[in-house]
Structure formats: C-alpha cells, structure tokens
Amino acid sequence: MATVFEMIINGDIPSTKLYEDESLLVILDINPVAKGHSLVISKTVYPNFTDCPVDVLAHMMEVAQKVDLQLRGKLGCDGTNIMINNGPASGQEIPHLHIHVIPRYKDDGQSFGFTKTKYDDGEIAQYGDLLRL
Ligand code: AMP
C-alpha cells in the first residue's frame, strides 16, 4: 500500500510544498512540533535510513541544511532539531525515509522525552570495543 508520502509525491493528496527537485520534496508537517516543522522526503521509497544510497542521503542533508537556514532566517528560531526516526521502535510512523527539521526556541519547553541512562563501571569501554567501526 502507498505511504502517505507517496500519495503526496504522486499528487493524490494535498501538501504544503516548500521545495521540490527530481529526487526529493520538502513539505510542512501537518502536525508540527512547532510551526514551520518541515519534512525532507525522498521521492524513491526507502523504508529507512540504511536502505538509502549515500548520495541520496547527502542530497537530503544538503536540502535539510537549506531548510534549517530558512527557518532560522524567516521564523527567527534559535535552533532546530534535525532528525530521522529510523524504524518503528524509534517512533517512525511512515516507512518512507524523511528528515524532520523542527524549529526550536530558547526555553520553548519541548523535549524528545528521552530518559538518559548510565554505564556501569568499565562498561563504556566494552561498548566502545563492540561498536568501533
Ligand atoms: P515519522 O514518525 O518520523 O514517520 O514522521 C511522520 C510525520 O509525518 C509525522 O510528524 C506526521 O505529523 C507527518 N504527517 C503525516 N501525514 C502527513 C500529511 N498528510 N502531510 C504532512 N505531514 C504528515
């Protein structure tokens, strides 16, 4: 079944487009964390981050950087969160790769809701050994 983003790309449902080229689309998120919350969406369906070729990812990040500058310049936001929810366990609702660019303001009271944890003694080195690329 087509994702919501495929329907938008195909023009089957409306969206507020900020930018479009041959490989991606930028739209406003319909349920924004803050007004101006934008989504950089690949036109080809890659369900998640790992499926996406690096040249496409690089272009998506290039455009996300322009969106970030636009949000700062036009809305006067103090910062942005630039994020990819990667897989259902991370909160990804739509299995079609997209980058969120979310305006943030000093003391806006928003948070990701993450609770941080701690390593036991010596455990950070073990994780380092396990994960070193
Ligand atoms: P994610 O949880 O990372 O998959 O994010 C999906 C995002 O798509 C959510 O922030 C939704 O608010 C947004 N969204 C869902 N449907 C639409 C739509 N029709 N137009 C714009 N944004 C949408």
Quote the Cα angle for 43-75-35, to 5°: 60
Can you give the length of the chain in residues? 133
Whether the per-residue pLDDT at 20 is higher than 80: the answer is: yes
Q: 117 pLDDT band (50/70/90 cuts)?
A: very high
pTM value?
0.96
Return the ligand 1 atom nearest residue 85 CA: 3
In 3D, which of 57, 62, 102, 111 has the Cα closest to residue 82? 102
Q: What's the rounded Cα separation, in Å, for the pair 130 and 133?
A: 9
Q: What is the pLDDT of residue 24?
A: 97
Tell whether domain 4-131 is in CATH 3.30.428.10.
yes
For the question of residue 98 being annotated catalytic, the response is yes
Q: 113 pLDDT band (50/70/90 cuts)?
A: confident
Binding site membership of 31 for ligand 1 (Cβ less than 6 Å): yes
Q: 61 pLDDT band (50/70/90 cuts)?
A: very high
Atom 15 of ligand 1, nearest CA residue: 30
Q: 6 pLDDT band (50/70/90 cuts)?
A: very high
Q: Where are the domains of the chain?
A: 4-131
